[in-house]
């Protein structure tokens, strides 16, 4: 059923008529219960957001007007039937709500937590036009997905009879996982190859547990395993085995979802001093290697004055991790103003509550170290906002001669990532952009080499979980069609 | 999970393992390494693939006990499993017939040099290996090196074995006596720095295999970065071998020391247990 057919169902109509629009819009937006800011800024693993109670979720769901033309759906990159799942929450059918979500999203418990809703579904909510706060779509999505998981009634999707066709996914991030799930449902024999020793990609090694607990990702992985998906860890495609090996081995289609794992640096003086590192290194040590746990053999610096360069989600994750590892002063250094920050709004809010300092309109130009080569200071150029640039954001301009020197003992550089070059370099005939992303047909995700499809960050550069997941699903549908032809 | 097939002591602190890893055995070349992790909370450490047996589907690792991670690995026995192992990583050594090649190694660099010596020999080079250590009991893998070297020169700081002197004295003696087309050096960064200074003086092209700190070993983190010719390079994907004359060894030395205090503490805790 499409959205309007769903909307025409009797129960929906009854629900709609049960309350006046004015009454609905007058309900204030729900507040997500969260851990106390001071407490959580020392708690490395506990999730900050505690989740809505059933009552809170049902009340919030009432706010949704069940619009005839739900604009929120246009804001969702994968077009989830938002009113349908929200109205199911309103009437207390939480498992139905989860089912509605899962028809479109492979990872609703993840997306409900990490999607930039304020830029997507919630930015298009009708409430905003009435100068009211948007319906908390993300919180509701998380509620429904968590309810289903915790109820023990997770519906393992029905898997079509095995067709004995082998297909491979390279990389186990959201793109690879979503692809694997859909292909398994269609009856394919799916093998996911992962370079690291853990499955999950950025969901595991990047995003910290205080924002996305590992358990949630693990449940998704177990579901895929229950559906027959095989995972091969510690296998770098292009090194351990080649794409050619896979073809020779009888794989009929290969989905490359190897992400954008290459950290960028700024190439400024002192950047190789001890104590200056990429956010990938910092977060990998803490998340993947569990370095802050005394039982772990991997070391990590626990700086007291930590500066994190950048304004994205990765920067927020790093700076809040630093705070949790004992930083007395943890600073975000960002060259534009807060308004231009690409991070999710909620992360910026949480960071501030946790006592993170924000030095916006500052840009590092040099790091200074002691005799042992350890960073001790950083020199910052003070900036101001100029004309809008290509991205539409006002560009940062130096204020000549205005600099600041601040004390630091650890610096985390979080100024972006590039696609992993391994596969693009190792496959002949693959079309690659000057940024190193793989070129694909936007409708099918198929590359110039027919057997290879690609999606997620390897195609888009550093993007989002929901887009990666959407690519995985699109590629699965297209590959199925292509193989059957 | 990779099963240990054999274990042999080269000395109390240097152990050779044969490990089941058929895919790696098939794709590896001289100069490649693996990342190895022992235990669920283990650290990922880089180890050179010293040899491979395609028939048996095994690779050979030669490990020197340094700190916690290498000690944990060395405690494993035949039949035990290495929790995680991934590879082959890095760029393979560029092997061709250069002519006369001096392979200078010391300490941690001796094991990684073995496959390079073998490959150079197989390509028809005259291979002169210089093994250096502080004293006799620290000289390792001498017999193994002799198998593929035309000559092995042993140098000890205290003169307790071979010739008294530093690794650089050994190299210089060869350069003074015959034309050297290439020098390859692996060892502590400080040693490689002095080797590089020496060969630069004599204009002998030199490759250094850098053993920086690594986390993932796949180009994801930048922990392994070094400056080469003024540009930042990642040792795990751009190396591990670089033109020694372009490497900023002082920076590398500084970065290697970065975790020394934490490592000492971890080793002290580990030894107590
Ligand atoms: C710290 C951090 C925080 C973020 N926060 C958010 C957020 O709040 N919201 C949001 O929407 N997005 C966020 N993102 C971005 C989001 O995580 C990514 O866009 C998304 O994970 C991309 O998914 P992917 O499947 O393409 O790749 P990845 O998740 O990067 O997974 C790729 C996987 O492929 C593996 N791989 C690479 N090469 C090979 C190979 N040759 N062989 C085998 N395996 C290989 C990698 O090891 C990795 O596991 C964040 C990113 C980071 C780093
Ligand atoms: C590409 C590459 C290939 C390698 N191949 C081999 C190999 O085949 N066999 C082998 O035994 N080792 C090899 N190494 C070195 C090996 O990885 C380290 O010895 C190991 O990581 C030490 O870990 P640990 O926890 O046991 O010791 P740590 O606790 O990390 O270190 C103990 C002490 O050793 C010093 N140290 C650590 N690493 C190095 C290093 N790389 N160079 C100099 N001093 C160091 C530390 O500063 C510290 O004082 C290689 C390294 C690289 C980068
Ligand atoms: S997936 Fe993301 S954009 Fe789509 S409805 Fe959920 S929160 Fe909104
Ligand atoms: S070890 Fe992480 S990039 Fe080289």
Residue A372 has its nearest CB partner, among B68, B257, B266, at B257
Chain B residue closest to A374 (CA)?
B258
Give pLDDT, residue A190. 97
Alpha helical stretches, state H, chain B: 22-27, 68-74, 110-122, 142-148, 167-177, 189-201, 235-238, 249-256, 260-272
Atom of ligand 4 nearest to the CA of B235: 4
ipTM for this prediction: 0.92
Ligand nearest to the CA of A193: 1
**Vertex A96, ends A92 and A97: CA angle to 5°?**
75
d(CA A480, CA A263): 34
CATH number of A3-151: 1.10.1060.10
Distance B235 CA to ligand 4 centre (A): 7
Is it the case that residue A48 has pLDDT exceeding 90?
yes
d(CA B202, CA B217): 34
Kindly state whether B29 is in contact with chain A, defined as any CB-CB distance less than 8 angstroms.
no
Mean pLDDT for B18-46 is 95
Distance A476 CA to ligand 2 centre (A): 43
d(CA A245, CA A260): 24
C-alpha dist (Å) from residue B265 to A259, A286, A373, B262: 36, 18, 20, 5
The token pair at A133 is 């706060």
Is it the case that residue B263 has pLDDT exceeding 80?
no
Mean pLDDT for A71-97 is 94
Q: Pick from B11, B37, B47 the residue to mutate for probing ligand 2's pocket: most ligand atoms within 8 Å of its CB.
A: B47
Give pLDDT, residue A152. 82
Cβ atoms of residues B127 and B152 within 8 Å: no
Mean pLDDT for A280-299 is 94
Is it the case that residue A113 has pLDDT exceeding 80?
yes
Which residues are registered as beta bridge partners of B232? Answer: B227
Distance B237 CA to ligand 4 centre (A): 8
Is it the case that residue B270 has pLDDT exceeding 90?
no
d(CA A21, CA A64): 9
* Surface of B (213-272) touching A: CB under 8 A: 215-216, 218-223, 225-227, 232, 237, 251, 254-255, 257-259, 262-263, 266
Q: Which residue has the higher pLDDT, B258 or A109?
A: A109
Going by alpha carbons, the residue nearest to atom 34 of ligand 1 is A171
Average pLDDT over all residues of chain B: 92
CA distance B212 to chain A (A): 13
Is it the case that residue A221 has pLDDT exceeding 70?
yes
* Topology, domain A265-413: FAD/NAD(P)-binding domain (3.50.50)
Give pLDDT, residue A428. 86
Going by alpha carbons, the residue nearest to atom 14 of ligand 1 is A464
Please count the CA atoms within 13 angstroms of the CA of A123 that sit on its side-chain side.
Answer: 12
Domains of chain B are 4-89 (2.40.30.10), 100-256 (3.40.50.80)
Atom of ligand 4 nearest to the CA of B236: 4
The token pair at A334 is 């960002």
CA distance B234 to chain A (A): 10
Give pLDDT, residue B14. 87
Average pLDDT over all residues of chain A: 94
A175 lines ligand 3 (CB under 6 A): no
Give pLDDT, residue A194. 97
Cβ atoms of residues A383 and A363 within 8 Å: yes
Distance A122 CA to ligand 2 centre (A): 51
Cβ atoms of residues B212 and B255 within 8 Å: yes
d(CA A209, CA A203): 9
Give pLDDT, residue A157. 76
Sequence spans of domains, chain A: 3-151, 166-261+417-484, 265-413
Going by alpha carbons, the residue nearest to atom 44 of ligand 2 is B188
Predicted confidence (pLDDT) per residue in A139-191, tens digit: 999 999 999 999 987 777 788 999 999 999 999 999 999 999 999 999 999 99
B26 class by beta-carbon count within 10 Å (0-12 exposed, 13-18 middle, 19+ buried) = middle
Distance A203 CA to ligand 1 centre (A): 7
Residues in CB range of A184: below 8 A, 6 or more apart: A159, A190, A224, A227, A228, A229
CATH number of A166-261+417-484: 3.50.50.60
Neighbours of B179 (CB within 10 A): 9
Residue A290 has its nearest CB partner, among B24, B41, B83, at B41
Give pLDDT, residue B273. 64
For A255, the 3-state DSSP assignment is strand
Give pLDDT, residue A444. 96
Indicate whether this model's pTM tops 0.90.
yes
Alpha helical stretches, state H, A188-303: 202-205, 214-226, 243-248, 279-283
Test B69 with A296 for CB contact under 8 angstroms: no
CA distance A296 to chain B (A): 5
Residue in B199, B185, B186, B187 with CA at minimum distance from that of residue B245: B199
Q: Which backbone phi and psi does A460 adopt, to 5 degrees?
A: -100, -10
Is it the case that residue B168 has pLDDT exceeding 70?
yes
Tally helices (H) and strands (E) across chain B: 9, 16
pLDDT grade for B173, boundaries at 50, 70 and 90: very high
Mean pLDDT for A356-379 is 96
Q: Can A3-151 and A166-261+417-484 be said to share one CATH topology?
A: no
Test B266 with A239 for CB contact under 8 angstroms: no
Going by alpha carbons, the residue nearest to atom 36 of ligand 2 is B66
Mean pLDDT for A61-71 is 95
d(CA A194, CA A172): 6
């Amino acid at each position: 059923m499409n959205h309007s057919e769903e909307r025409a169902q009797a129960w929906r109509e009854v629900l709609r008529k049960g309350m006046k629009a004015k009454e609905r819009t007058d309900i204030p937006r729900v507040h997500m219960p969260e851990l106390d800011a001071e407490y959580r800024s020392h708690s490395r693993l506990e999730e900050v957001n505690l989740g809505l109670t059933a009552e809170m979720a049902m009340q919030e769901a009432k706010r949704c007007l069940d619009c005839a033309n739900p604009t929120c759906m246009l804001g969702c990159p994968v077009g989830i039937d938002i009113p349908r799942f929200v109205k199911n929450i309103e009437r207390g059918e939480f498992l139905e709500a989860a089912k509605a979500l899962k028809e479109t999203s492979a990872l609703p418990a993840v997306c409900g937590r990490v999607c930039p809703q304020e830029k997507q579904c919630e930015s298009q909510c009708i409430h905003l036009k009435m100068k009211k706060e948007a319906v908390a779509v993300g919180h509701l999505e998380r509620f429904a997905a968590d309810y289903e998981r915790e109820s023990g009634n997770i519906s393992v999707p029905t898997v079509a009879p095995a067709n004995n066709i082998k297909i491979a996914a390279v990389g186990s991030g959201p793109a690879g996982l979503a692809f694997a799930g859909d292909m398994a449902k269609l009856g394919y024999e799916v093998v996911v190859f992962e370079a690291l020793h853990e499955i999950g990609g950025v969901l595991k090694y990047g995003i910290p547990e205080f924002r996305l607990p590992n358990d949630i990702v693990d449940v998704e992985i177990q579901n895929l395993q229950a559906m027959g998906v095989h995972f091969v860890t510690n296998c770098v495609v292009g090194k351990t085995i080649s794409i050619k090996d896979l073809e020779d081995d009888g794989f009929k289609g290969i989905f490359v979802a190897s992400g954008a794992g290459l950290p960028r640096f700024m190439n400024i003086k002192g950047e190789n001093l001890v104590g200056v590192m990429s956010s990938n290194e910092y977060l990998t040590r803490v998340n993947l290697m569990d370095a802050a746990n005394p039982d772990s053999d991997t070391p990590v610096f626990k700086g007291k004055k930590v500066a994190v360069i950048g304004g994205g989600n990765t920067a927020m994750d790093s700076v809040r991790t630093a705070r949790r590892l004992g930083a007395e002063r943890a600073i975000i250094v960002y060259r534009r103003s807060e308004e231009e920050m690409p991070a999710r709004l909620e992360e910026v809010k949480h960071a501030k509550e946790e006592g993170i300092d924000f030095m916006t309109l500052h840009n590092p130009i040099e790091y200074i170290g002691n005799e042992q080569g350890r960073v001790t200071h950083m020199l910052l150029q003070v900036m101001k906002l100029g004309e809008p640039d290509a991205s539409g954001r006002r560009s940062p301009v130096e204020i000549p001669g205005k600099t600041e020197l601040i004390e630091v003992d650890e610096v985390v550089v979080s100024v972006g990532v590039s696609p992993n070059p391994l596969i693009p370099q190792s496959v002949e005939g693959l079309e690659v952009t000057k940024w190193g992303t793989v070129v694909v047909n936007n409708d099918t995700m198929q590359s110039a080499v027919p057997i290879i499809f690609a999606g997620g960050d390897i195609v888009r550069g550093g993007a989002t979980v929901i887009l990666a997941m959407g690519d995985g699903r699109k590629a699965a549908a297209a590959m199925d069609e292509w193989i059957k032809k | 999970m990779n099963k240990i097939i054999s274990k042999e002591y080269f000395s109390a602190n240097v152990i050779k393992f044969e490990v089941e890893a058929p895919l790696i055995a098939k794709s590896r070349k001289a100069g490649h390494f693996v990342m190895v992790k022992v235990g669920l909370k283990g650290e990922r450490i880089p180890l050179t693939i010293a040899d491979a047996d395609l028939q048996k589907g095994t690779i050979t690792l030669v490990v020197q006990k340094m700190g916690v991670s290498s000690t944990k690995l060395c405690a494993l026995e035949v039949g035990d499993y290495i929790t995680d192992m991934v590879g082959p990583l890095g760029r393979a050594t560029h092997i061709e017939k250069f002519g006369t090649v001096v392979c200078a190694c010391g300490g941690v660099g001796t094991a990684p040099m073995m496959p390079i010596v073998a490959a150079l020999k197989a390509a028809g080079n005259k291979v002169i290996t210089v093994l250096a250590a502080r004293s006799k009991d620290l000289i390792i893998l001498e017999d193994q090196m002799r198998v593929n070297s035309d000559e092995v020169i042993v140098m000890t700081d205290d003169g307790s074995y071979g010739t008294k002197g530093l690794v650089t004295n050994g190299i210089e003696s060869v350069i003074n006596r015959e034309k050297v087309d290439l020098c390859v050096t692996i060892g502590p960064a400080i040693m490689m720095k002095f080797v590089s200074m020496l060969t630069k003086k004599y204009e002998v092209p030199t490759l250094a295999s850098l053993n920086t700190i690594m986390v993932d070993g796949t180009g994801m983190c930048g922990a392994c970065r070094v400056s080469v010719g003024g540009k930042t390079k990642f040792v795990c994907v751009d190396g591990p071998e670089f033109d020694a004359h372009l490497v900023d060894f002082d920076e590398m030395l500084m970065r290697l020391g970065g975790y020394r205090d934490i490592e000492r503490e971890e080793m002290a805790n580990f030894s107590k247990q």
